[in-house]
Structures are given as structure tokens and as C-alpha cells.
Structure 1
Amino acid sequence: QRDLDGSETPVGTQQRVQIELSKAYDLSAPRPNPFSERATLDLAVRERQDVTVTVYDVLGQRVRVLHEGPMLPQQTKHLKVRAHGLSSGTYFVRVVGEDFTETRRVVLVQ
């Protein structure tokens, strides 16, 4: 394609884009929230590290472990909180890495 300034730009070429995380991790808000069947959160870490993702009820009791083990840098993990076996109510998804801890609230409505 010929641009307005007279230069030519190849059309249909692919370029690889790598996005660097500015902090140790990136954790999305749960969606949908509230949920009825499942909620999804996306997690990515800047450096390889062991990560544990646990779901707790409002009493602080662990009800699910969504992930436990290593995560590689710049790879997004799609974490799913499934409603099966859970009662309606508020739950907390706690993500613990080697250099961060974060919690997100999700509400299950059945």
C-alpha cells in the first residue's frame, strides 16, 4: 500500500507484539459478577513463580483450589470459579504469588 507521504507499507505482514507487565502480576476482575454458572478471572505474572489461587467462603473456609504450582511469564491463565457444589453467596478468590497477594470478590446467584 502506498501511504500519503509516498512511502510504501507492505499489506498483510504479521508483526509480533510483546506486552510487558509494569507490575509483578495482572489479575482481571471476575466476569460475570455476579455469576450463576461460572466466573472467569485472567492472571498473568511478569516472572516465573509458584502461584496458588484459592476460593474461600465468607466464613474463611477454603472451598476450592483453582491453581497451585508454577506460572510462566507473560502467559495468561484463565481461572474459572464454577458454581457446581457451591451455595449462593459471596466468595473470595485469593491469589498468592512469591511477591504478591491479591483478593477478588465474586457473588454466586443461583
Structure 2
Amino acid sequence: MASSLVLPSAASLSGQWTVVDKSSSCDVQLTAERFEAANGYKLSISPGCDPSVLPETPEAWRPAPDGIALLNGDGLTVLFFSREGEHYRSQIWQQTGKILKKSKN
């Protein structure tokens, strides 16, 4: 019997997250508030975020069965993170991909 991946709810993924890229990091807040123009949910980035971590600034996000997509204002994916254990990783084919992990509050 084949199994399907479950689409997580926005509420279950909402909260404070950290994007880590080599020695830099950036805090992002994923919310469950709709961002209709992007067909996703609002996202905010901490002030002073290193541009090398998020070179194209996302304005929204969307859950996917296999990860989390960060979106521009038009709903196009600027960065996709695939689930990898307890965190998510971009560019899973490389060990140098960015890591998205939920902050412990």
C-alpha cells in the first residue's frame, strides 16, 4: 500500500524560525495570516538580517507535503526547504544548503 505525505497546516508550522547559512543566520516569523496575492501566509524577517542568508527577500510562505516554500509577493518560490528530520534544508543535493529550524521558545 502506498502512503502519501500529509500537508501540514499553517497553524502547526507558525512561529519563530531561524534560517542558517554557513556562519550567518536570520530569524523569520511564519504566521497563519493569509497573504492572498501570494496564495500563502504572511512572513516577517528580523531587522538586520544578513542579505547572504536570504538574497531575495521573501514576503510569504506556504506549507508543502514535503517542505516549506518561501515566496515573493506574487507567490513565486524564492527558496524551498525540504524536510530533513527535525529541520528543513534547501539544496538537499548539497551539504552546503541553508537550514530552516524552528526556534525553541
TM-score with structure 2 setting the length:
0.27
TM-score with structure 1 setting the length:
0.26
Structure having the larger proportion of residues in helix: 2
Structure possessing the higher radius of gyration over alpha carbons: 1
